[in-house]
């Protein structure tokens, strides 16, 4: 027995409505699942962004501290260099003053007859160690006389004494093309070396600058 057309159409509508309802339910569930996933992804993105922002902030702060420390070290190095330059300038000034004082002391020493004899003896001894030949010429200041020299100053050497108006103190001993300069200028000619010796005797310079 066949179903009436009206009943058949009513059955189809019920089936269609059920199918549509099922489709709508699946769509709703799918949408809710997508929304949940989107929310979870958004939360993950926000957490990652906050973590990256915190890391960036920490790195920025570390970099700023590092740069500040480097600037501090650079400034300290500049200040230490300036202090050292001042120390060196003061040391050089002290050394030059010491060399000048030495020259003045030698000039004063020349005024003493006994000191002149010792001066000549030292000059002749130095010359004997370096000058060739057995004939020397000794130039001397006008205020010194060969009569003040010992009778035989150097064994085996003939000496020609010659006054030199340009000399104020000391002696210049020549043989062939070599010479020994025992004047004040000659004795202090290596002023840098003398200054170094004087500096070695002034260990308190650094502490005086720091004070």
pLDDT band of 30, cuts 50, 70, 90: confident
The proportion of the chain whose per-residue pLDDT surpasses 70, expressed as a percent, equals: 85
* pLDDT number for residue 211: 45
The listed range with the strongest mean pLDDT (3-7, 41-45, 77-81, 136-140) is: 136-140
**115 belongs to a structural domain:** yes
**157 belongs to a structural domain:** yes
Please indicate, yes or no, whether the overall pTM of this predicted structure exceeds 0.85. Answer: no
**133 belongs to a structural domain:** yes
**135 belongs to a structural domain:** yes
Q: In what order do the strands lie in the sheet with 135-140?
A: 158-163, 135-140, 170-175, 178-183
**139 belongs to a structural domain:** yes
> 32 pLDDT exceeds 70?
yes
pLDDT band of 10, cuts 50, 70, 90: low
**172 belongs to a structural domain:** yes
Lowest mean pLDDT, pick from 109-118, 126-135, 157-166, 196-205: 196-205
The proportion of the chain whose per-residue pLDDT surpasses 90, expressed as a percent, equals: 13
**44 belongs to a structural domain:** no
**169 belongs to a structural domain:** yes
Determine the average pLDDT of the residues in 36-60.
Answer: 81
- Total of domains in the chain: 1
What is the domain extent for residue 183?
109-190
* pLDDT number for residue 174: 93
> 202 pLDDT exceeds 70?
no
Q: Residues 91-117: pLDDT tens digits?
A: 777 777 877 888 888 889 998 888 998
């Amino acid at each position: 027995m066949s179903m009436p057309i009206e009943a058949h159409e009513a059955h189809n509508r019920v089936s269609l409505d059920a199918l549509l309802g099922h489709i709508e339910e699946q769509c709703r569930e799918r949408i809710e699942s997508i929304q949940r996933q989107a929310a979870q992804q958004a939360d993950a993105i926000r957490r990652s962004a906050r973590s990256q922002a915190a890391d960036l902030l920490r790195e920025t702060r570390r970099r700023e501290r590092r740069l500040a420390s480097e600037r501090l070290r650079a400034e300290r190095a500049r200040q230490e260099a300036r202090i050292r330059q001042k120390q060196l300038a003061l040391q050089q000034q002290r050394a030059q003053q010491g060399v000048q004082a030495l020259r003045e002391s030698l000039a004063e020493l020349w005024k003493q007859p006994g000191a002149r004899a010792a001066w000549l003896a030292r000059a002749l001894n130095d010359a004997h160690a370096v000058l060739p030949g057995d004939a020397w010429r000794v130039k001397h200041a006008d205020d010194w006389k060969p009569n003040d020299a010992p009778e035989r100053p150097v064994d085996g050497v003939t000496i020609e004494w010659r006054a030199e108006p340009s000399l104020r103190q000391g002696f210049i001993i020549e043989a062939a093309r070599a010479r020994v300069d025992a004047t004040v200028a000659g004795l202090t000619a290596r002023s840098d070396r003398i200054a170094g010796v004087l500096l070695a005797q002034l260990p308190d310079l650094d502490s005086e600058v720091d004070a």
